[in-house]
Amino acid sequence: MTPATYPPPAPDSAPDGRTSLVDVSVPGRAPDAFDLLRRGWDDQVGTTIPIPPSRPVGGGDYRIRIRHSEVADAVVEDIYSEAIVGGTGGRFNHLNGRVVLHVVHGGTWDFTRAGGRGGTVVAPAGRFVARYNDPPWEFGIGPRTTSQVLILPAAELRPHLGDGHVDGPTDAPALRLLLAYLDTLDSVLDSLSPGGVRAARGALLELAKGVLTEGVDGDEPRFAHALVRAARQLADERLADPGLAPRVLAAELNISVRTLHRVFAGDGESVMAYVRRRRLERALGDLASSPSRLSVSEAAARWSFSDGSHLIRACRRAYGLPPAAYAQELRTGQAPRAGDGDRP
């Protein structure tokens, strides 16, 4: 029998243990598959978050890969899993008394109350489901499923959830805001002080409440960076839309236009200044990559400039060069390329 594979911890694991990587493979027909899986899990992440009773399905080799980050008593996991079934909560003695939020990016998760009470909740790609995990649940994960899973203390969240569940689309404004915050948190977590971790935990729970109640108080200063990041992501998706405006972004994020302007002002760049900068970067990038096929006027029209002369003026103001000359510098590597997201 091929032995289970237990790779060493990832080199980017945090020295204080806040972030770790679990990567375990088990032969599909191994009679002791769960024991092999549990042993690999315990060796790599310990017993802080125990593995649920489960078994691989489908007959092929099973692999699970989890990036596990602890934010005080909250946990954020990025998970890749092959098909598996198991149980959690209640008599399964796994994550009892926690609220668990699954955001599914590919594949499926499904949950059924153990004992057949109630229907099955299915979360395919593009959906999320949040559950109170004390009643026992049986779960299934589809092949090649990718998801983010938040394991959260229940005291502050259960009043918004009861013993049931909440589910919805991943493009819901409150969830988009939560995901933007998770991106930010991931980039700074390992460098936070203990006080910073506590503050991050508080913000995480407040945003999770927003998902459960379909609303977030955008006036809270601690959400400002996450709001800016989420608004920028939305704007980047719609740069070619001539109707892109602060009111459109604010409506998508379920906040007021005033709040949107205020959080951008705190970041040093107005909403429309960001939009103009990103449109200019996209237009110049297109000119650099298609010098013989795209005119300045065509690039201007593509990225919602009024006409070619507006694009020329914008480029001269930003870089001191007309678009064709700046595009040439981009091609020769003598000018910095436009970024594809937040400013440095």
Range of the domain at 62: 19-170
Q: What is the pLDDT of residue 148?
A: 97
CB-hemisphere CA count at 13 Å for 233? 18
Task: List Cα–Cα distances, 5 to 41, 142, 292, in angstroms.
Answer: 11, 21, 52
Higher pLDDT, 36 or 17: 36
Q: Can you read off the two tokens belonging to residue 275?
A: 């939009």
Q: Is 184 a member of any domain?
A: yes
Residues 166 and 23 reside in one and the same domain: yes
Contacts (Cβ under 8 Å, ≥6 apart) of 177: 207, 210, 216, 223, 226, 227, 230, 253
Q: Is 14 a member of any domain?
A: no
pTM, two decimals, is 0.63
Residues 138 and 192 reside in one and the same domain: no
Residues 23 and 166 reside in one and the same domain: yes
Tell whether the model's pLDDT for residue 9 goes beyond 50. no
Residues 157 and 222 reside in one and the same domain: no
When pLDDT is cut at 50, 70 and 90, the band that residue 8 belongs to is: very low
Residues 82 and 117 reside in one and the same domain: yes
- List pLDDT tens digits, range 313-335: 999 999 989 998 888 888 887 66
Q: Which of 241, 268, 295 is the last residue of a domain?
A: 268
Q: What is the pLDDT of residue 29?
A: 66
Query: In DSSP terms, which residues pair with 131 in a beta bridge?
Result: 100, 165
- List pLDDT tens digits, range 148-171: 999 999 988 887 777 778 888 998
When pLDDT is cut at 50, 70 and 90, the band that residue 48 belongs to is: low
Tell whether the model's pLDDT for residue 339 goes beyond 80. no
Contact 26, 61 (CB under 8 A): yes
- List pLDDT tens digits, range 175-198: 999 999 999 888 888 888 888 888
Q: Is 1 a member of any domain?
A: no
Residues 120 and 242 reside in one and the same domain: no
117-140 as b/e: b if 16+ CB within 10 A: eeeebbbeeebbbbbbbbbbbbbb
Tell whether the model's pLDDT for residue 344 goes beyond 70. no
When pLDDT is cut at 50, 70 and 90, the band that residue 128 belongs to is: very high
Which of 8-12, 137-141, 168-172, 281-285 is least confident? Answer: 8-12
